[in-house]
Amino acid sequence: MSIFDTPRYKENPSDIFFDHFVMDVIGLLPSGMSENLDAAISTSGGAWRQKTKQLINLSDTIEIAILDLWYRNSAILESRGELYDPYHFAVNFVDAYFAENSQVDQWPGNALEVAKSHIREAQQREADATQCAQSAAFR
């Protein structure tokens, strides 16, 4: 059975690329998967990402929407002592994106700037935590 035969992808095969696009944006695409996705749509060097954006007609701010929701939702789960599985996040994101009256990747007022700021802060916290862990390893 091919992955395209699963119920999620049988009806909408492009979802497999969007799901994996989301996982790539958050930096958690499984090793080797980029090459497999390139091969599936006859691209190379990670060009599957750009082709996916074009095929699905994704905006130039989609990565911001993905990262903003990833950091926000991950923090909520982390506060409960849970971790957000990257694949489940990707599926939830794609489903929310295509939902009727979706507000995903919509930026009223200063929402885009707020999202960018939130992402910078979350990435700085990650960098600080990594640096702290590396320092502790050398003690």
73: left (phi over 0), alpha (psi -120 to 50) or beta: alpha
- Residues 128 and 137: their CA atoms lie apart, in Å, by 14
Residue 131 belongs to a domain: no
Residue 72 belongs to a domain: yes
Residue 25 belongs to a domain: yes
Return mean pLDDT, the chain: 91
Pick the range with the lowest mean pLDDT from 14-18, 25-29, 85-89. 14-18
How many domains in the chain? Answer: 1
Residue 122 belongs to a domain: no
Residue 3 has pLDDT above 70, yes or no: no
What pTM value is reported for the model? Answer: 0.89
Residue 117 belongs to a domain: no
Residue 66 belongs to a domain: yes
Residue 115 belongs to a domain: no
- Per the CB < 8 A criterion, the answer to whether 20 and 28 are in contact is no
- Residue numbers of the domain that contains 17: 3-106
